[in-house]
Structure 1
Amino acid sequence: MFKDISKNRYSILLFFSSLFILISFLLRIVFLVWVKNDFDWGITSLLLTILFGLLYDISIVSCFTLIITLYFAVLPNRYINSFFDKIFIYFIYTLYLVIIYFTFFAEVTFWDEFKSRFNFIAVDYLIYTYEVVKNIQESYPLPLLIGGIILITCITILVTKKRKYLFYTFHSRPTLIQKIGVFIFNLLIASSTLYFLNNDTSSISENRYNNEISKAGIFSFFSAFRNNHLKYDEHYTSISIEQAFVIVKNELQDSKTIFDQEFKNPLRRTILAPNPTQPEQKPNVIFVLMESMSASFLQEQFNEKPITPNLNKLADNSIYFSNMYANGTRTVRGMEAVILSIPPTPGHSIVKRVDNQNLYTISNVFKEKGYHNMFFYGGDGYFDNMNAFFGGNGFDIYDRGRGSILSDKINTHRYNINDDEVTFENAWGIADDDIYRKVIKVADQQYLTKQPFFAMVMSTSNHKPYTYEDGKIDIPSGTGRAGAVKYSDYAIGDFLAKAKEKPWFSNTVFVFIADHCASSAGKNAIDVKNHHIPAFIYNMRSIPNQKITKEVSQIDIFPTLFSLLNWNYTSQFYGKDIFDPEYNTRSFIGTYIKLGMKKNEDVIILSDQKKINQYKWIKDSLDETKMDIGFEQSIISNYQTADYLFSNKLLDEK
Structure 2
Amino acid sequence: MLKPFKHYLAPYLLLSLVVLILLSISRLSLSLWQFQHFTDFQALLAVAVGGFRIDLSTVGYVLIIPAVFTPILSAFRPLKSSWFWLLKNYLVCALALLTLLEIATPTFIEEYGLRPNRLFIEYLIYPKEVFSMLVSGHLNTLIISTCCLVVFILFVFVPLSNAFVKQLQLQKTHTKSSLFAAVLLPVLLILMARGTLGHRPINPAYVYFSNDALVNSLTLNSTYSVVHAIKALKNEKNAAKMYGNMSDEEVISLVQTKTGLSKDAFVHQNQPTRAIRAPSYTGKKKNLVIILEESLGAQYVQPLGGLPLTPNIDGFYREGWGFEQLYATGTRSVRGIEAVITGFTPTPARAVVKLDKSQKGFFTIASLLQSQGYTTQFIYGGESHFDNMKSFFLGNGFSNIVDLKDIESPNFIGSWGASDGDLFTQADKELAKLNQSDKPFFSLIFSSSNHDPFEIPQGVVSPINYSEEQRMELDEKELKRHLAIQYADYALGQFIATAKARDYWQDTVFLIVADHDARALGKDLVPINNFHIPAVILNTEHNQTRFSDIASQIDLAPTLLSLMGAVNDSPMLGRDLTVNTLEGRALMQYANNFAYLTQHGVTVLQPGKAPSKFLYDVTSKEMQPVALDEEEAKTALAHALWGSLAYQNGWYTSQ
Q: Normalising by structure 1, what TM-score?
A: 0.88
Does the aligned pair in 1 maintain the 2:11–2:164 contact within 8 Å?
A: yes
Q: Closer, same or farther in 2 for the Cα pair 1:520/1:445, shift >3 Å?
A: same
**Which residue of the other structure, out of 84, 108, 111, is the alignment partner of 2:109?**
111
What's the counterpart of residue 152 of structure 2? 152
1:520 and 1:11, CA in 2 relative to 1: closer, same or farther beyond 3 A?
same
2:128 counterpart (130, 149, 160): 130
The match for 2:273 among 267, 291, 297 is 267
User: 1:218 Cα deviation (Å)?
Assistant: 0.9
Structure 1 segment 399-548 matched on structure 2, within 5 A? 399-400=402-403, 416-417=405-406, 420-475=408-463, 480-540=480-540, 542-548=541-547
Residue 232, structure 1, aligned to residue 239, structure 2: yes
Partner of 2:290 in structure 1? 287
Q: 1:477 Cα deviation (Å)?
A: 9.7
**Whole-Å Cα distance in 1 between the matches of residues 338 and 593 of structure 2?**
17
- Aligned 1:51-450 pairs, distance under 5 A: 51-76=49-74, 87-88=85-86, 90-141=88-139, 142-156=142-156, 160=160, 168=167, 170-173=169-172, 175-192=174-191, 193-194=193-194, 196-228=201-233, 229-254=236-261, 259-274=265-280, 279-299=282-302, 306-356=308-358, 357-400=360-403, 416-417=405-406, 420-450=408-438
Higher mean alpha-carbon deviation, 123-132 vs 320-329, is at: 123-132
Secondary structure of the residue aligned to 1:395 is: coil
Give, as a single letter, the amino acid of the residue that structure 2 aligns with 1:434: D
Amino acid at match of 2:611: I
- The Cα of 1:263 is off from its aligned counterpart by 4.6
What's the CA shift for 1:534? 0.5
**Number of the residue aligned with 2:654:** 653
Q: Which amino acid is 2:651 matched to?
A: L
Deviation at 1:385, TM superposition (A): 1.9
User: Any idea what SS the aligned residue of 2:217 has?
Assistant: helix
Task: Mark the CA change 1:140 to 1:81 in structure 2 (over 3 Å): closer, same or farther.
Answer: farther
Percent of paired sites with the same residue: 24
- CA RMSD after TM alignment: 3.2
Shift of 1:271: 1.2
- Per the TM alignment, residue 4 of structure 1 is displaced from its structure 2 partner at its CA by 11
Amino acid at match of 2:220: K
Distance in 1 of aligned mates of 2:161 and 2:276: 75
Secondary structure of the equivalent of 1:463? coil
Stretch moving more, 476-485 or 438-447:
476-485
Of the structure 1 ranges 607-616 and 452-461, higher mean CA displacement relative to structure 2 is found in 607-616
Matches of 1:644 and 1:291 in 2, distance apart? 30
- State the SS of the aligned residue for 2:203: coil
Which segment is superposed worse, 629-638 or 459-468?
629-638
Q: Is the 8 A contact 1:81 1:170 kept in 2?
A: no
* Alignment of 1:603 onto 2:605: no
The CA distance in 2 between the partners of 1:512 and 1:18, in whole Å, is: 54
Q: CA deviation at 1:594?
A: 1.8
Specify the code of the residue in structure 2 equivalent to 1:645: A
Counterpart residue type for residue 428 of structure 1: W
Distance of aligned partners of 1:12 and 1:493 in 2 relative to their CA distance in 1, 3 Å threshold: farther
Post-superposition offset of 1:95 = 2.8
Structure 2 contact 286–440 (Cα < 8 Å) conserved: yes
Deviations 1:566-596 (A, max 9, x none): 4443232111122314132111122242222
Name the residue aligned to 2:468.
none
Please tell me the residue identity of whatever aligns with 1:225. I
Residues 15 and 164, structure 2, Cα contact 8 Å, conserved in 1? no
Partner SS state of residue 63, structure 2: helix
Change (3 A) 1:247 1:71: closer
Structure 1: how far apart are the matches of 2:100 and 2:75? 34
After superposition, give the CA deviation of every residue in 1:182-233 in whole Å (9 maximum; x if it has no partner).
4434422443324512233222333323211110111111111121215133
SS at match of 1:470: coil
- Measured in 1, the distance between the counterparts of 2:145 and 2:546 equals 48
Give the 3-state SS of the residue equivalent to 1:549 in structure 2: strand
Q: Is the 8 A contact 2:646 2:652 kept in 1?
A: yes
Confirm or deny: 8 A CA contact 1:199 1:219 kept in the other structure. no
> Which segment drifts farther, 170-179 or 429-438?
170-179
Higher deviation after alignment, 531-540 or 190-199? 190-199
Kept in 2, the 8 Å contact 1:66–1:183? The answer is no
Inter-partner Cα distance in structure 1 for 2:223 and 2:272: 42
- The one-letter code matched in structure 1 to 2:243 is Y
The TM-score, its normalising length taken from structure 2, stands at 0.87
Distance 1:611 1:159 in 2: 47
Select between 136-145 and 311-320 the one with higher mean Cα deviation.
136-145
| Cα separation, partners in 2 of 1:238 and 1:157, compared to 1, 3 Å | closer
Query: How many angstroms apart in 2 are the aligned matches of 1:483 and 1:579?
Result: 35
SS at match of 1:311: helix
How far apart, in 1, do the equivalents of 2:551 and 2:444 lie?
21
With over 3 angstroms needed to count, the CA separation of the structure-2 counterparts of 1:448 and 1:186, relative to structure 1, is farther
Paired residue secondary structure (2:29): helix
Tell me the residue number matched to 2:197.
none
CA deviation profile, 1:276-308 (whole Å, cap 9, x unmatched): xxx42423221011111100101399xx98322
Shift of 1:161: 9.8
Measured in 2, the distance between the counterparts of 1:130 and 1:174 equals: 49
Q: Distance in 1 between matches of 2:481 and 2:533?
A: 16
Note if contact 1:325-1:554 (Cα within 8 Å) is conserved in structure 2.
yes
Structure 2 stretches lacking a partner, 5+ long: 195-199, 464-475
What is the rounded CA distance, in whole Å, between the counterparts of 1:161 and 1:56 in structure 2? 23
Deviation at 1:325, TM superposition (A): 0.8
* Cα distance change on mapping 1:95 and 1:568 into 2, 3 Å: closer
Q: Distance in 2 between matches of 1:241 and 1:5?
A: 55
Instruction: Tell me how far apart the structure 1 counterparts of residues 69 and 634 of structure 2 sit (CA, whole Å).
Output: 55
Rounded Cα–Cα distance in structure 2 between residues aligned with 1:625 and 1:109: 34
Further displaced range: 365-374 or 52-61? 365-374
Residue identity opposite 1:46 in structure 2: L
Following superposition, the deviation at residue 42 of structure 1 comes to 4.3
Return the alpha-carbon distance in structure 1 between the equivalents of residues 58 and 344 of structure 2: 38
| Stretch of structure 1 that moved more, 385-394 or 503-512 | 503-512
Larger proportion of helix: 2
Q: How many residues align?
A: 629
Cα shift at 1:653: 1.9
Aligned-residue offset at 1:610? 6.2
